[in-house]
Amino acid sequence: MNPDPTPWDRSIPDADLLRRFDIAGPRYTSYPTADRFHAGIDAERHGETLALRAFGPAATQPLSVYVHIPFCESVCYYCACNKVVTRHHERAAAYVDALETEIALVHRRLGVRALVSQLHFGGGTPTFLADRELSMLMALLHRHFRLAADAEISIEVDPRTIDVARLRHLRTLGFNRLSFGVQDFDPDVQRAVHREQSLESVTALVGASRDLGFRSINVDLIHGLPRQTPASFARTIDQVAALRPDRIALYGYAHLPHRFKPQRRIDTAALPPASDKLRMLAGAIAGFIARGYSYIGMDHFALADDPLAIAKREGRLHRNFQGYSTQPDCDLVALGVSAISKVGASFAQNVKTLPEYYAALRGGRLPVERGLTLDQDDLVRRDAIMALMCQGRLEFDPIERSHGIVAAEYFAPELERLRQLSADGLVTVDSSGVQVTPMGWFFVRAVAMVFDRYLKAADRTATAIAMPGAHGSAGSVEAPVRFSRIL
């Protein structure tokens, strides 16, 4: 099988493919996706899962830790994240106190000062916290966990909330990776989504970050925003490429004003048509590749010598709640409101509001409200979906050896449904497995969705994929629940 399908050297899908595959689809930062969680996983159950980790093979393996900071000074109209919009920075002190309690509860259940190879601060806006509060939080984490000498320590940064002095403080605290939320540099688009920041300010921050020795810089972009055009977004692509970030994440905006209140402020008439959105994606892929970036898959790009690009070439790519990663699939302890942990074969999600979060911790309880324990079929399908999402291929032999199945029999219904995708030129199927074609990379989630039993059980997507004219929409982020349109 071809190990490295490359969609950028092909023409974009035609109007018929666009029409038939403009459907709702998960980003598969996890499988099963977080919308399948239920209340059967509570604080007690999650506590037991954490405690059992000490007696299994994972006890000697490093953890990944995620910290969710929900606060933002102002609302971005496209946002579907779990956030609290406020200019009252004093609210952060109470939140850090609550995090201290949760960290201590988790540490008590784990029973050890576990080794951490990956630490990520997300939000919201993590840089909403003052320098003193960030210092306190990092001290708490160091007290209860052992950060590996080569740990990836990253933080999401709103360029409007930071300057060089704050960047220097982050570096002093041990952060070695930054992710700048840019979305688009066009002033009209920025005004339409209520997020105005200049190219000059971001350029200065990126330069300062390099001078301070940050190991990796990522830039987040969104295509499909109001007032964007293929031409205007091409300018943003040129401007971002000139900054030479090590990595770029390009997400597709999905308009769901009935679910996400800030999106109601977006002028629907200003949204680009689906055909323009696809041209933006195709243009971004071509533009970044021409400037020396490797297309990692779906929404990620990296410079050719970046560890992410190397992992893609060597077949070591993984996917977690932060997207594509070089980190092996390891247990994830997530802290803060709405955060999702993955320990062993179990997911556990914290409560989604600050009052609930504070109340649980005051009562000495882990703030978990729901989750899921994977069964054997979930484990098989997770491996299949992640293979497609990360490597663009599902090889039957490894999955048969890992799970004791005969793939052609186990996936017989899925292979039958893949016939239509094969006829459309999105996949090739033979006795050794399933390969996503260059054209198929535009719709890789549609391929993965064929193997999602929860979508089949709902009798939605399996039919939609095979039938012309199916449409849908969903939100653009997947932590706690991230969805976006196939395109």
Cβ within 8 Å of residue 442, ≥6 positions away: 7, 12, 13, 278, 281, 282, 487
Residue 66 among known ligand-binding residues: yes
Residue 41 among known ligand-binding residues: no
Q: Of the candidates 313, 105, 458, 193, which has an alpha carbon nearest to the alpha carbon of residue 449?
A: 458
Q: Of the candidates 23, 37, 24, which has an alpha carbon nearest to the alpha carbon of residue 479?
A: 37
Calpha distance 392→29 (Å, rounded): 15
**Contacts made by residues 377-380, CB under 8 angstroms, sequence distance 24+:** 377/453, 378/31, 378/32, 378/345, 379/345, 379/403, 380/405, 380/410
List Cα–Cα distances, 206 to 149, 212, 231, 277, 323, in angstroms: 24, 10, 25, 27, 22
Residue 254 among known ligand-binding residues: yes
Residue 80 among known ligand-binding residues: yes
Residue 239 among known ligand-binding residues: no
Which stretch of DSSP H or E encloses residue 346?
A: strand 346-350
Residue 220 among known ligand-binding residues: yes
Calpha distance 465→20 (Å, rounded): 7
Residue 78 among known ligand-binding residues: yes
DSSP 38: B
Calpha distance 327→152 (Å, rounded): 9
Cβ within 8 Å of residue 193, ≥6 positions away: 76, 77, 78, 183, 184, 225, 226, 266
Which stretch of DSSP H or E encloses residue 409?
A: helix 407-410
Residue 390 among known ligand-binding residues: no
Calpha distance 402→387 (Å, rounded): 13
Residue 81 among known ligand-binding residues: no
Calpha distance 145→67 (Å, rounded): 13
Q: Of the candidates 479, 485, 487, which has an alpha carbon nearest to the alpha carbon of residue 68?
A: 479
Calpha distance 40→420 (Å, rounded): 38
Residue 72 among known ligand-binding residues: yes
Residue 486 among known ligand-binding residues: no
* Number of alpha carbons in the 13 Å side-chain half-sphere of residue 218: 27
List Cα–Cα distances, 218 to 57, 151, 206, 295, in angstroms: 33, 17, 10, 14
The dihedrals phi and psi of 131, each to the nearest 5 degrees, come to -55, -45
On the 0-12 / 13-18 / 19+ scale of CB atoms within 10 A, 316 is middle
On the 0-12 / 13-18 / 19+ scale of CB atoms within 10 A, 12 is middle
Here the tokens at position 216 are 């990796």
Residue 33 among known ligand-binding residues: no
Q: Which residues are annotated as a binding site?
A: 66, 72, 76, 78-80, 123-125, 156, 183, 195, 220, 254, 340
Q: Which residues are annotated as a binding site for S-adenosyl-L-methionine?
A: 66, 78-80, 123-125, 156, 183, 195, 220, 254, 340
Q: Which residues are annotated as a binding site for [4Fe-4S] cluster?
A: 72, 76, 79
